[in-house]
Structure 1
Amino acid sequence: MYYPYFIAYIAIGIILSLVVFYWAFKTGQFSEQQRARFLPLRDNEDQPPVKTTRIHRLEIYGLFLLAVGGLSATAAVLAYALYFSK
């Protein structure tokens, strides 16, 4: 059966999710919840437009590669499991 592959895949996903949650909690991503609910109501017309920096572009490319890698891993596990299932 190919259940161990899916269980391992789910376990890796849960571990990565917990690592990202721990990082977000330690860096203070959840620290200002009272202020965050009013941010959509704030008028942003007085601020100049944000220019895209080289680091921002690298982050976008990195996230794209991470998404492609995750989808490729999913396809590989699925193809392997279907190919070797009897």
Structure 2
Amino acid sequence: MEDRHALLQKINEISFVFNDLTLYLDTHPMDSIAKSDFQQAASKRKELMQKYAKEFGPLTLDCSCEYHSWAEGPTPWEGGHI
């Protein structure tokens, strides 16, 4: 099992790349290299989010909630997932 903080750091880093490429593609929609990089970043982010959800519980509502039920507590506002 990977350290929670190290995994969160990886998620933050790939999320930055993902968001930056999203903004770039808004103004450069025909850039095929950026599109490829975007797809790779999206795939990696999804993989990391699923890994986090499986080990520690979901960070967002749309990430693989098959691994966790909010009823299993503690909830995020009780310090359960961060």
Structure possessing the higher radius of gyration over alpha carbons: 1
1 or 2 for the larger relative contact order (CA 8 Å, sep ≥6)?
1
The TM-score with structure 1 as length reference comes to 0.36
The TM-score with structure 2 as length reference comes to 0.38
